Each structure stands twice: as C-alpha cells, then as structure tokens.
A and B are shown apart, each in its own frame.
Chain A
Amino acid sequence: MRRTFVALIVALVAARAQAQPGVRIGLTYAPGVKPGVVLTLVGGVLGDSASVIVRRDLDFGDRVTVIAAGGTLSPATTQGKVPNYALLAKLGAAGLVQLEIANGRLRSTVHDVGAQRVIDTLSVATPAGGPTRAWRAAVHRLSDEVERVLTGTAGVASSRMAYVKAGRTWLVDSDGAFPEAVSDGSALSPAWRRDGGALAWTTLTSAGSRIQIKELASGRVQSLVATPDGLNITPTWTNDGNAIVYAHGLENGTDLWIASVTGGEARRVTVGRGSDNTSPTVSPDGRRVAFTSGRTGHPDLYVADLDGTNTDALTDIGLDEDSYRAGPDWSGDGRAIAFATRISGQFQVAVLSLRDRAVRVLTSDGKNEDPSWAPDGRHLVFTSTRTGSSELWVVDSESGRVRQLTRDRGARLAAWGPRLPATP
C-alpha cells in the first residue's frame, strides 16, 4: 500500500515536471503571455454581428490576443473541415474559435492549435428577431464561455453596469450598448444584489434620503423603513441578499447600520462617536465590511467585522491635509480592495492588496473615482473626467489598459453587476 502511494506521488511529481514549460488550462501557453486566438467569421448579417461581438468581448477580456485573420483564413478553417493548424501556428495562434449560427443557436468550436484538436464545443440559444438586447446577451454569454475554455477564467461580457446620470439610475451592457433608465425619480449610489435580480439605491425625499430596492424582473420598488429619518445613503447588499448595509446619519455623525430587506429594526455596525462612516462594501465571505471613515480627521479606509467588532485601519492613516481615501469596493475573489485616493489634489483609482497591504495606483489622467470591480476580480469600472466631462471607463488592473464605456455626459457612480444567468 505504501509502495503504491509512493509510486503515485513519484508519478505526479514527474507529470508536474513535464508540465513546467507552460501553464496548461485550456490552451498551452507561456505564463504571463496572452495567447493568440483566431476567430473565424460566420456568414450573414447576424453572423457578422455575432463574430464582431465575440471578437470585441474577447479583446475587452484582456486575456487573449485576437488575431485579425479576416476572410483569407476562412476556407482553411471552415466549420466541419480540419483546420490548417500549421498555418494558424505560424500566425502565432494558440487557439482557434469557429462560430456558426444554425437552428436558433449560436455554436462555437474551440481548437487547441498546438495540440491540433478540438477542446470544447459550446452553444447558446439566440432569441429570434435579430440583434436585440436579449440576442446580444446570448452572444455575450457565449463569449464568456469561450474565454473560460481558452483561459480557465470566464469573461464578464454578459454582465451589466448600473450608474447614475442626471439623478436617475441607468443600466448599460458591459460593452456600452443599450443604456436604459431604471429609476423614475432621483436615485443615487446604485448597488447590485449578488444574483443580479435587484438594485438598491438612495433616493431623496422631502423628509430626507431613503434606501429603495427595485426588483428588476417585476419592477416592484420598496423602501427600507428601518431608519426613516435623517440621512440614509450608500447602500450595499449582504452576500445572501437578505439585508442592506448602509450609512445612516442624524445630527451626531453618520454610522453604518444593517437592516433586513423584509423589515424589522436596523442594527448598528460602526461606532463612529460623531465621525462620518460611509460607503460600506461587504467581503466575499460575508464576515467583514470595509468602509470610509473620517474618525481621524481625514477620510480613510477601515475594516470591521459585520457584527461591529474588530475595527481596524486598512491603510496607514494619512496625516497630511491632502490625505483622502474613500469609496472602497471589495473584489469578488476577496484579494483586493479598490478605492479612490487623492494624489496632488486629484482623485485617482488605486487597489489595495489584502495579502501584503501594498497599494497600486491605476490611473493618472484627470479625476478618477468610484471604482467598482467586475465579477472577474480583474477589471474595474470607474468615473473619469479625462475627456472633459464625467464618463465611465473600464481599466484592466493587471495591464492598466483602459477603455471608455459611456459617451453620455454626466455618467458616474457605476456599480458592476454579476454575470447574467443563462436562459434555458
């Protein structure tokens, strides 16, 4: 028995040693390198649209390099025939993705060029009626799955962002398409429930500010009435979706409170003793909450247990007048917290690693704030004035590559939602 175990260990070590030259997930490629992928075009109007969307989704994912093959390679890579792997390899492609629309479904066949074999076939139902929002959502879901097969991590193309413009809350696809208003009156600081089925936001009333919840499928809106008076702002959901953590302020400072969405009394989370404590973000394990606190005179980042204990500063407290850190957002993998920090009088987006407490600043052009993580824990949406007006931008926290999401003056306070669930 012991010999068998030892032999098994030796075999595993040998296999591991053989795999050393590269990382093997879906494709074989060197660590730190974006593998090249050729995407074949499918015919027809919808085919063109589908391939353009998938190409752009893979490009925005920042994990693969989409090689522009054009029509020249199509005969060699037509669906159903054996692809010209040697030619694809010469072009630097590690993968090939063939798309086909048939019988109301969009299919993709993913090839490993190095291994000269198909590694997966994927398919999604595409609603009839052309490139509507639902049709595009189906294509985005396929893109996310293709990215998962190619790199081991699903893309975030099928997610949407909520944001504020002209006092109302809007939704927009991850590629900036189909913006739509989802609130009637004033609505600030939108926050997604983890399943993507509801939003919470702050609304202004004559009696003060309140937290409202909107179920997106039914359109039903309800108010959180646990603390009807005073200031009720910056809501965020607990991971189970049963409660909202928010900042509640009366005359003597602002503290974080937690209240069930089904009613009942609110419970205090922070003890600010007259200071302002706002912008909560709950950790992925649901046990802790990071927030902005002015308890040392300047807004800074703190973390506490969700029961209010173990409050601790996340960063070294800034003592100079310029010091200002605010608006934390905990990444989905729990490893980092994004926030806005003031540098030379200008706000910039930064990321704090919870492993070693190291801070990386991701932006430098214009005023950049209100970061919100994508579900992949890699991309961030944020508000920037780099074009002269307030717009939403997306940054890849690993490469620093940025892209403009909205071209809609005044967009701000974005919250990146979860991937949309697949339709049957």
Chain B
Amino acid sequence: MRAAAFVLVVLPMAGCLATQTDVKALQADIAVLRAESHRADSIRAVQVASILSGLKLVSDTLHGVQSRLGKMAGDTKGDMYAMQQQLIQIQELTGQSQRRIQEMRANLEDRAPGVADTTRSGAPGPNQLLQLSLDQLRRGSAGAARAGFTDLLARFAESDAAPLAQFYVGEAFAAEGNTASADSVYQLVLKTPKSPKASTALYKHALVLIARGDAAAGKAALSEVVKQYPQSDEAVLAQDRLKTLK
C-alpha cells in the first residue's frame, strides 16, 4: 500500500524533473517562435499597409478620373448650353436682319417705285405694301391691313412677300374676331408648306379646332406641327398642348 502510494506521487513528478538546460532550450524555442510570429505579423502589416496604400492610390486615381470626367461633362454641357444660346441669339439676330431687310426693301421701293413695280408707276411695290399693311395691323386697323394684304396678293402673287401677305390676311381676320375666315386662310397657307409662316398657320389651325371642341382633330393637327416643323417654336408649344389635352 505504501509502495503504491509512493509510485503514485513520484511518477507524475518524474515528468517535471526536466533539467535547467531543457527549460532554457524551451524558452529559447518560445522566443524564436514569438520573434518569428512577430516578424510574420510585421511583414503582413507592411503588406496590408502596402495594399491599402495601393488601394488608396487607385481610389485617388479613380476619384481624379471621375472628377475630370465630371468636369469634362460639365464643361461640355456648359459649352453646349452656350452654343445653344449663341444659336438662339444668331437666330434672333437673323430674324431681326430679315425684318430690317424687309423694311429696307420697302424703303427702296418707296424711293424708286418704278423699279419695284413694273405694272403701275408710282404705286407701292410688294414689300412696301406688306410693310404698310403690317403697320396698319399693328395699329389695330385690321380692315385696312387686310385690304392692303389682299391688294398685294392680287398684284404681286409671285413675289417673296406674297406668302407672308397670305398669312397676315388670316391674322387680320382674327384681329377682327372673324375666326372662321381666319382659319380658312390658315388652311390656304398650309398649301404652301414652304411659307415662312406655315408652322404658325398649322398651330393656329389646331387651336381653332380645339376651341371648336374637336379635340381629336386638334390633337392630330398638333402632332403634325411636331412632325413637320420639329425645330419650330410651335413644335414646343404643340408638345406642351398635347401633354395637357384630354
């Protein structure tokens, strides 16, 4: 019994009876292991930092590219807007010039009536007649204006001023409150699709149809404005009307 107890106590202790050298070796091993682990961590940290740095660089580059793209898009948009505005300005100035030319033609005919009017010496030429009639229309004398436009059409049917005179006969009727006659004239203008007032005449015809309560025909006419004269102001107005028309 005593022997068994001795064995039980001593045997476990036998494993702990390592020499001091063994312990030192073990400690050295542990230190080496720690150092290696630390070195591995450092290397990994450096690698991670390197990767992060690389990622940051890529991100910065991407950000830079994005900024430049944004700026380029903005510049392009700005340039496009500026170009659009310049185009509008040119269109307006061209319109102004055309009006000036019309007035100058009228003045020229006024000073040299025989040159412009080969049918009746001293009588006003087509441009002068157009200008005088337009002035009457602006003053509110629609009847006198209409008489002038009609005279122009009778005497100078082939002149450049004739399509405008045709349209303004309709405008004179409209100013007098005679919508039915005005609409008839607008439809006559549409038979000359190259008339500078064709898009306006078609749009006004559409408005007359809508006012009469014929929404379907009005919509069809508005769609024609958009289709036939997509660059005109009337196309924009027609698109807006089509959105709200029931």
Q: Which residues of A contact B (CB under 8 A)?
A: 265, 267-268, 271, 273-275, 285, 287, 295-297, 307-313, 316-317, 334, 354-355
Indicate if B32 sits at the interface (CB-CB under 8 A). no
A-contact 0/1 string along B73-117, CB 8 Å cutoff: 000000001001100110011011001000000000000000000
Which of B93, B135, B138, B203 has the most CB atoms of chain A within a 10 A radius of its CB? B138
When A307-B207, A309-B203, A317-B92 are in contact, do A274 and B237 touch as well, CB less than 8 Å?
Answer: no
When A267-B241, A307-B207, A354-B138 are in contact, do A317 and B200 touch as well, CB less than 8 Å?
Answer: no
Indicate if B54 sits at the interface (CB-CB under 8 A). no
Indicate if B119 sits at the interface (CB-CB under 8 A). no
* Bound form: Cα–Cα A334–B139 in Å: 8
* Bound form: Cα–Cα A67–B99 in Å: 51
Contact indicator A274/B88 (Cβ below 8 Å):
yes
Contact indicator B96/A316 (Cβ below 8 Å):
yes
Contact indicator B237/A297 (Cβ below 8 Å):
no
Indicate if B60 sits at the interface (CB-CB under 8 A). no
When A271-B233, A271-B236, A285-B175 are in contact, do A313 and B95 touch as well, CB less than 8 Å?
Answer: yes
- Residues of B within 8 Å of A275, CB to CB, are 85, 88
Instruction: Identify the closest chain B residue to A297 (Cβ).
Output: B89
A203 smallest CB distance to B (angstroms): 25
Indicate if B183 sits at the interface (CB-CB under 8 A). no
When A287-B175, A307-B204 are in contact, do A313 and B236 touch as well, CB less than 8 Å?
Answer: no
Q: Which of B84, B85, B135, B204 contacts A309 (CB 8 A)?
A: B204
Q: Which 3 A-B pairs have the closest CB atoms?
A: A271-B233, A271-B236, A308-B237
B233 smallest CB distance to A (angstroms): 4
- Residues of A within 8 Å of B240, CB to CB, are 267-268
Which of A265, A267, A271 has the most CB atoms of chain B within a 10 A radius of its CB? A271
* Bound form: Cα–Cα A273–B151 in Å: 37
Which of A285, A307, A316 has the most CB atoms of chain B within a 10 A radius of its CB? A307
Indicate if B244 sits at the interface (CB-CB under 8 A). yes
Instruction: Identify the closest chain A residue to B167 (Cβ).
Output: A310
Indicate if B193 sits at the interface (CB-CB under 8 A). no
- Residues of B within 8 Å of A287, CB to CB, are 174-175
Contact indicator B236/A268 (Cβ below 8 Å):
yes
- Residues of A within 8 Å of B241, CB to CB, are 267
Secondary structure call for the A interface: loop
A289 smallest CB distance to B (angstroms): 14
Indicate if B70 sits at the interface (CB-CB under 8 A). no
- Residues of A within 8 Å of B207, CB to CB, are 307
- Residues of B within 8 Å of A271, CB to CB, are 233, 236-237
* Bound form: Cα–Cα A311–B241 in Å: 18
A76 smallest CB distance to B (angstroms): 47
Q: Which of A265, A274, A310, A355 contacts B85 (CB 8 A)?
A: A274
Q: Which of B81, B140, B233 contacts A311 (CB 8 A)?
A: B233
A358 smallest CB distance to B (angstroms): 13
* Bound form: Cα–Cα A274–B91 in Å: 14
- Residues of B within 8 Å of A316, CB to CB, are 96
* Bound form: Cα–Cα A78–B138 in Å: 51
* Bound form: Cα–Cα A273–B89 in Å: 11
When A267-B241, A309-B200 are in contact, do A273 and B95 touch as well, CB less than 8 Å?
Answer: no
* Bound form: Cα–Cα A8–B196 in Å: 49
Contact indicator A354/B236 (Cβ below 8 Å):
no
- Residues of B within 8 Å of A334, CB to CB, are 140
B81 smallest CB distance to A (angstroms): 7
Contact indicator A297/B85 (Cβ below 8 Å):
yes
- Residues of B within 8 Å of A311, CB to CB, are 233
Contact indicator A273/B88 (Cβ below 8 Å):
yes
- Residues of A within 8 Å of B89, CB to CB, are 295-297
A195 smallest CB distance to B (angstroms): 22
Q: 11 A-B pairs, CB-CB below 8 angstroms?
A: A268-B237, A274-B85, A295-B88, A296-B89, A307-B203, A307-B204, A308-B233, A309-B237, A312-B95, A334-B140, A354-B139
Contact indicator A274/B92 (Cβ below 8 Å):
no
Instruction: Identify the closest chain A residue to B244 (Cβ).
Output: A265
Contact indicator B200/A273 (Cβ below 8 Å):
no
- Residues of A within 8 Å of B139, CB to CB, are 354-355
* Bound form: Cα–Cα A268–B175 in Å: 22
A311 smallest CB distance to B (angstroms): 7
Contact indicator A313/B92 (Cβ below 8 Å):
yes
A-contact 0/1 string along B141-176, CB 8 Å cutoff: 000000000000000000000000000000100110
B80 smallest CB distance to A (angstroms): 10
Q: Which of B92, B99, B200 contacts A296 (CB 8 A)?
A: B92
* Bound form: Cα–Cα A268–B84 in Å: 20
Q: Which of B185-242 contact A (CB under 8 A)?
A: 200, 203-204, 207, 233-234, 236-237, 240-241
Instruction: Identify the closest chain B residue to A313 (Cβ).
Output: B96
A417 smallest CB distance to B (angstroms): 24
A269 smallest CB distance to B (angstroms): 8
* Bound form: Cα–Cα A166–B175 in Å: 42
A139 smallest CB distance to B (angstroms): 35
- Residues of A within 8 Å of B175, CB to CB, are 285, 287
Contact indicator A310/B244 (Cβ below 8 Å):
no
- Residues of B within 8 Å of A313, CB to CB, are 92, 95-96, 99
* Bound form: Cα–Cα A287–B204 in Å: 13
* Bound form: Cα–Cα A309–B235 in Å: 11
* Bound form: Cα–Cα A295–B93 in Å: 10
- Residues of A within 8 Å of B244, CB to CB, are 265, 267
Instruction: Identify the closest chain A residue to B207 (Cβ).
Output: A307
- Residues of A within 8 Å of B234, CB to CB, are 308-309
* Bound form: Cα–Cα A267–B238 in Å: 11
A86 smallest CB distance to B (angstroms): 45
Contact indicator B85/A285 (Cβ below 8 Å):
no
Contact indicator B233/A274 (Cβ below 8 Å):
no
* Bound form: Cα–Cα A78–B169 in Å: 60
B237 smallest CB distance to A (angstroms): 5
